[in-house]
Amino acid sequence: MKKRIGILTSGGDCPGLNCVIRAVVSHATLTYNWEVVGIPYATQGLLEQKTVPLSIHGWDLRGIDPLINMGGTILGSINKGDTLASASEILTGYEALGLDALIAVGGDGSLKIIHELATLGNWHLVAIPKTIDNDVALTERSIGFDTAVNTIVDAINRLTFTAASHDRVMIIEVMGRTAGHLALHSGIAGGADVILIPEVPYTIKGLCDHLTQLRDRWQRKFAIVVVAEGANPCLDDLENGDSCTTSKCGRGQYIADQIASCSSNLVDTRVSVLGHIQRGGIPSALDRLIATVYGKTAVDLIAQEKYDQMLAWQNGQAVAVPIQDALDKSPSLVNPQGELVQIAHSLGIYIGDN
C-alpha cells in the first residue's frame, strides 16, 4: 500500500537538516514509491494542518539540488511555546493530514514533546537526533555537531593570529548551556590553552596560574580560552553565592573580568561571543553523511513498521534505539573523568584543577 509520510524539524536549527529531508524524500520515493510531505514549523504545522509538498525533482531549474549544502531547514522550526497546551488541536491536525508515519528531527527537548504527543495520538513515529550541543543520549553524534565544531575551530584559527599579534588573552564563548561537548571538542581541535565547561569545576587561581606559567615558563605571550556559555562561575564565586547567570551576563566577559583582576601584570583581554554563527553555515561532509544515513534508515524503519525508535550513531553506523530510552538518559554530559578531559589535561590545557 502506498504510504504518505510526514517529516518535520523541531527545536533550534542546525546545518544538515535539509540533508535528512533530501535523503528521506529520495529513498521513500525511489525505493518505496511513497508520498512525502513536509510539516512546516513542526507542531505548529500540525496544529494548522499545513503541509509542504516535497519532491526529488524541481528544486532548481538546472537540476542542482541545494538541499545537500544549504544550512537551516526549508521546513522552518520552532523551539518555544507550550506545545502540550495545544495537544488536542495538534492531535486533530495530525489525524486530518492522513499520515501513515511521521519522521521528527529534533533535539532532546523537542523530541520529548513530540514523543508525548505521538503516545497520546498513537502516531507511528521515528525520531532523528539533531543538535549542535551533541547532548542527546545513546548517540555518539547528532546532526549539526560536526559542522559547529568546525565553525568554532575556524574562529579559533582566526583569533589565534590576532591574539598572537597583540599579546592578548582571547576568550571565545561558545554555545552549550548544560553540555560542554562543543567547547571541549573545538578547544582540543583548535589548540586552546584553556577550556571551561559546565561539567568541570575550575578556580580563577588555577586559571591565572596556568596563564602565568604559559607566559613565564613557555614565553607564550598570548592565550586562547574557550568557554562554554553554561560554564559555571568559578568555585570561589559559587561559594560566595554568585548571582551572575548566563542569561544576565556572558560567561566570556565574566572570565575576562576575572583574568584581568587576578594578575599584577596588565593582561589585555578580548572576548568574542560566537553565538548563532555556530548554528549556521554549510553542513560538513560528516554531517551530510550522518544525515543521509539517518534519513534513509528512518524510511526503512517505517517500511519495517518499527516505530517509537530514535536513530543513533554507534560505532560508525546508524542503529535504532527506543526513543524513551534516549530521552530518559538525556542530556548526555561530558564525563569529567572521560578520555577527552584526560587528553586535555595531558596536553597541558587548563580545564579545571587536577
> Least distance from C-beta 343 to ligand F6P, angstroms?
23
Give CA–CA dist 194/92, Å, rounded.
52
Residue number with the smallest Cβ distance to ligand F6P: 175
Q: Omega before 331 cis (within 30°)?
A: yes
Give CA–CA dist 60/69, Å, rounded.
13
DSSP 8-state class, residue 75: T
> Pick the catalytic residue: 133, 135, 193, 287?
133
Residue in 133, 170, 152, 108 with CA at minimum distance from that of residue 281: 152
Dihedral over alpha carbons 274, 343, 287, 320 (to 10 degrees)? -130
> Known catalytic residue: 133?
yes
In the bound state with ligand F6P, the residue whose beta carbon lies nearer, of 176 and 295, is: 176
Residue with cell 560528516: 286
Residue with cell 553565538: 275
In the bound state with ligand F6P, the residue whose beta carbon lies nearer, of 93 and 107, is: 107
Give CA–CA dist 30/37, Å, rounded.
15
In the bound state with ligand F6P, the residue whose beta carbon lies nearer, of 133 and 193, is: 133
DSSP 8-state class, residue 350: B
Q: Are 154 and 186 in contact (CB under 8 A)?
A: no
The residue ranges that bind ligand F6P (CB under 6 A) are 12, 79, 107, 131-133, 175-177, 229, 279
In the bound state with ligand F6P, the residue whose beta carbon lies nearer, of 109 and 206, is: 109
Strand 309-314 versus strand 269-273 pairing type: unpaired
| Burial label, 9 (beta-carbon count in 10 A; 0-12, 13-18, 19+) | buried
In the bound state with ligand F6P, the residue whose beta carbon lies nearer, of 176 and 352, is: 176
Q: Which helix (H) or strand (E) holds 328?
A: helix 323-329
> Least distance from C-beta 132 to ligand F6P, angstroms?
5
In the bound state with ligand F6P, the residue whose beta carbon lies nearer, of 93 and 198, is: 198
Q: Are 228 and 181 in contact (CB under 8 A)?
A: no
| Active site residues per annotation | 133
